[in-house]
């Protein structure tokens, strides 16, 4: 469980987050949705501690993150995995070396133990045999999957994903969503996902929070999305004329 | 402007303090250090050799020209080439050139890692990124650059020989006699103090420029340029201070 408490964030003059409080549950896909520029990435980076909030607290279960010293923060980081929007794979390392990097840095396992774990993770993201490829030789979807494998290699308790399916075709995007979903459930992870992809919202949104201009304007789950008459939510979901027509047609047919 | 200077200096100090922390895993830092040594050392051999041979040649010719028609003995050419190389040209010019080659490269590499969120990714894993990115580079530079400077001094002396002896400015024996005259071992100490100090400056300044780069390719280019410009200014300033302190 992660809890954000009254988070404010300003860059110079601009106030990007204006008092966000919300809880992210364990074993669930917690979605933060909103249009580009709503502040999703900034919120995520505050949750993982890459940015300091101007005001507010972040709780990792019973631990008040920003009140901890450097060492304790690093200890929490060991329990955190993150998938970046651009995957953030190290270009000079192969797929295998990328996934192994956290193990190399933080464990004293033997080469064989590390390799077994890496291969298990690669298998988990359906990338068997891609070990020796370099990131530049792989597709965007594969890079995302390598990113996931690297994020889960140290068995995190908390998983963060920033726009996991941006830049992917719809089918690959669905696969990535399903992968994150099943990893979350299997390992009972607290997963937090930034997205503006409606397929994700309707597919894996256990908890959904809509961010608009730095404020939380709606929370609920995927079943409540369609029933809500929150105007901002409706505007966000039915952003395209095509979807609006679908909705109107559905209403007409009862 | 002034505020910016102090702000950046403070940020630099904080970065450097955090860079000197205990490595998470020695073997990983060692691997990175070796990679950097290879990059800095092997990658710079040719350019250092090239500039050094010309520096030696020019020093010798220039001095031969100045001596023309004076009573100063010709063998002084060897002596001047040697001392100028050791005291000034080998450490200073080598490091100014390395700031352009190695420094800009470090700033661009680390800056690219910042922009592509590689640094964030490492931070999330729990890596102390200032230490992991800076310490190996610093150690590699402080070991390898003095070696390059030593090489530069030798090559400059050879350059001086090639430029003067074959054309008959002085004989081979005279040049060697010059090399053996008035030798002050302390000058060697000075050379290494300079080399190590300049290595520290160009590495830390360049890493700093890369580490705090903001987004965009224009910013990356700027960071790389700043790395070279600030390294060069600070190297020359340090050069002056070292000479002041060590010869005073
Ligand atoms: N490092 C930063 N410095 C200044 N402004 C920033 C920074 N990061 C984000 N912002 C601003 O914060 C706002 C929200 O950005 P972001 O969280 O990236 O939106 P998104 O919801 O698309 O992820 C934007 O207006 C952006 O310009
Ligand atoms: Mg974003």
Section B202-217 average pLDDT? 96
What is the residue with the minimal CA distance to atom 19 of ligand 1? A37
Q: Quick check: is A232 in a domain?
A: no
Q: Quick check: is A27 in a domain?
A: yes
Residue of B nearest to A76 (CA): B126
Cα separation, B197 vs B146, whole angstroms = 10
The CA-atom distances, in angstroms, between A210 and each of A164, A193, B199 are 17, 12, 51
Give the DSSP per-residue string, A42-88: HHHHHHTTSS--SEEEEEETTEEGGGS-HHHHHHHHTTEEEE-TT--
What is the residue with the minimal CA distance to atom 17 of ligand 1? A39
**What pTM was computed for the model?**
0.91
A102 vs B116, B118, B125: nearest CB: B125
Report chain B residues whose CB lies below 8 A from the CB of A154. 125
Residue A43: what pLDDT? 96
Q: Quick check: is B3 in a domain?
A: no
DSSP-based three-state secondary structure for A2: strand
Q: Quick check: is B4 in a domain?
A: no
Cα separation, A129 vs B200, whole angstroms = 43
Contact A55, A6 (CB under 8 A): yes
Ligand nearest to the CA of A34: 1
Q: Quick check: is B93 in a domain?
A: yes
Picking from B18, B121, B214 by the largest number of A CB atoms within 10 A of its own CB, the best residue to mutate is B121
DSSP-based three-state secondary structure for B148: helix
CA distance B80 to chain A (A): 46
The band of B100, judged by pLDDT with boundaries at 50, 70 and 90, is very high
- Kindly report the backbone phi and psi dihedral angles of residue B214, in degrees, each rounded to the nearest multiple of 5, phi listed first: -95, -175
Is the pLDDT at B178 greater than 60, yes or no?
Answer: yes
Mean of pLDDT over chain B: 94
Q: A95 is in which domain, residue-wise?
A: 2-227
The band of A244, judged by pLDDT with boundaries at 50, 70 and 90, is confident
Is the pLDDT at B1 greater than 60, yes or no?
Answer: no
A98 or A70, which is more confident?
A: A98
- Inform me whether the C-beta atom of residue B166 falls under 8 Å from chain A C-beta atoms: no
Q: B130 is in which domain, residue-wise?
A: 30-243
Q: State the DSSP code for B103.
A: I
Q: Quick check: is B41 in a domain?
A: yes
Q: Quick check: is A70 in a domain?
A: yes
CB contact under 8 A, A77 and B125: yes
Number of domains in chain B: 1
Q: Quick check: is A58 in a domain?
A: yes
Cα separation, A81 vs A48, whole angstroms = 9
Section B142-152 average pLDDT? 97
CB contact under 8 A, B124 and A50: yes
Section A33-43 average pLDDT? 93
Ligand nearest to the CA of A164: 2
Number of domains in chain A: 1
Q: How confident is the model over A101-134, as pLDDT tens digits?
A: 999 999 999 999 999 999 999 999 999 999 999 9
CB contact under 8 A, B28 and A105: yes
Is the pLDDT at B213 greater than 60, yes or no?
Answer: yes
Q: Quick check: is B7 in a domain?
A: no
Provide the β-strand partners of residue A127.
Answer: none
Residue A225: what pLDDT? 84
Residue B79: what pLDDT? 94
- Inform me whether the C-beta atom of residue B116 falls under 8 Å from chain A C-beta atoms: yes
Q: How confident is the model over A138-149, as pLDDT tens digits?
A: 999 999 999 999
Residue A19 tokens read as 């008092």
The interface pTM score, or ipTM, of the predicted complex is 0.90
What is the residue with the minimal CA distance to atom 27 of ligand 1? A37
Q: Quick check: is A163 in a domain?
A: yes
What is the residue with the minimal CA distance to atom 18 of ligand 1? A41
Q: State the DSSP code for B98.
A: H
Residue B247 tokens read as 């010869």
Is the pLDDT at B2 greater than 70, yes or no?
Answer: no
Residue of A nearest to B18 (CA): A70
CATH of the domain at A180: 3.40.50.300
């Amino acid at each position: 469980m992660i809890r954000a408490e009254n988070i404010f964030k300003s860059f110079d003059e601009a106030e990007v987050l204006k008092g966000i409080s919300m809880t992210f549950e364990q074993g669930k896909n917690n979605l933060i949705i909103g249009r580009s520029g709503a502040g999703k990435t900034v919120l995520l980076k505050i949750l993982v501690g890459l940015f300091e909030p101007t005001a507010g607290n972040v709780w990792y279960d019973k631990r008040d993150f920003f009140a901890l010293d450097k060492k304790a923060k690093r200890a929490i980081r060991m329990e955190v995995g993150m998938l970046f929007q651009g995957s953030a794979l190290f270009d000079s390392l192969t797929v295998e070396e990328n996934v192994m990097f956290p193990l190399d840095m933080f464990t004293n396992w033997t080469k064989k133990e590390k390799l077994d774990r890496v291969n298990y993770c690669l298998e988990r993201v359906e990338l068997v045999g891609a070990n020796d490829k370099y990131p530049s030789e792989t597709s965007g979807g594969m890079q995302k999957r390598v990113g996931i494998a690297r994020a889960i290699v140290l068995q995190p308790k908390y998983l963060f994903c920033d726009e996991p399916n941006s830049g992917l075709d719809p089918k690959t995007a669905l696969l990535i969503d399903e992968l994150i979903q099943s990893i979350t459930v299997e390992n009972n992870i607290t997963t937090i996902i930034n997205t503006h992809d409606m397929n994700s919202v309707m597919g894996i949104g256990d908890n959904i929070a809509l961010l608009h201009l730095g404020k939380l304007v709606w929370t609920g789950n995927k079943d409540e999305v369609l029933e809500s008459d929150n105007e901002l939510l409706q505007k966000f979901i039915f952003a395209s004329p095509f979807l609006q027509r679908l909705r109107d047609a559905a209403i007409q047919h009862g | 402007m002034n505020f910016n200077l102090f702000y950046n200096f403070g940020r630099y100090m904080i970065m450097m303090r955090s860079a000197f922390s205990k490595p998470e895993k020695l073997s990983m830092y060692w691997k990175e250090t070796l990679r950097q040594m290879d990059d800095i050392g092997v990658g710079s051999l040719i350019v250092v050799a090239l500039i050094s041979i010309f520096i030696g040649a020019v020093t010798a010719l220039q001095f031969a020209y100045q001596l023309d028609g004076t009573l100063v003995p010709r063998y002084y050419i060897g002596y001047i080439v040697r001392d100028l190389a050791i005291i000034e040209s080998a450490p200073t010019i080598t490091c100014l050139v390395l700031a352009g080659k190695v420094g800009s490269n470090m700033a661009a590499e680390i800056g690219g890692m910042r922009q592509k969120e590689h640094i964030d990714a490492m931070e999330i894993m729990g890596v102390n990124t200032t230490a992991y990115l800076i310490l190996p580079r610093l150690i590699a530079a402080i070991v390898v650059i003095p070696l390059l400077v030593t090489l530069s001094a030798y090559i400059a002396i050879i350059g001086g020989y090639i430029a003067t002896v074959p054309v008959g400015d002085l004989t081979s024996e005279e040049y060697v006699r010059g090399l053996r005259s008035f030798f002050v071992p302390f000058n060697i100490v000075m050379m290494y103090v300079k080399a190590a100090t300049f290595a520290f400056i160009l590495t830390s300044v360049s890493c700093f420029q890369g580490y705090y780069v903001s987004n965009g390719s224009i910013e990356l280019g700027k960071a790389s340029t700043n790395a070279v410009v600030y390294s060069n200014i600070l190297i020359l300033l340090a050069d002056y201070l070292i000479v002041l302190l060590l010869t005073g």
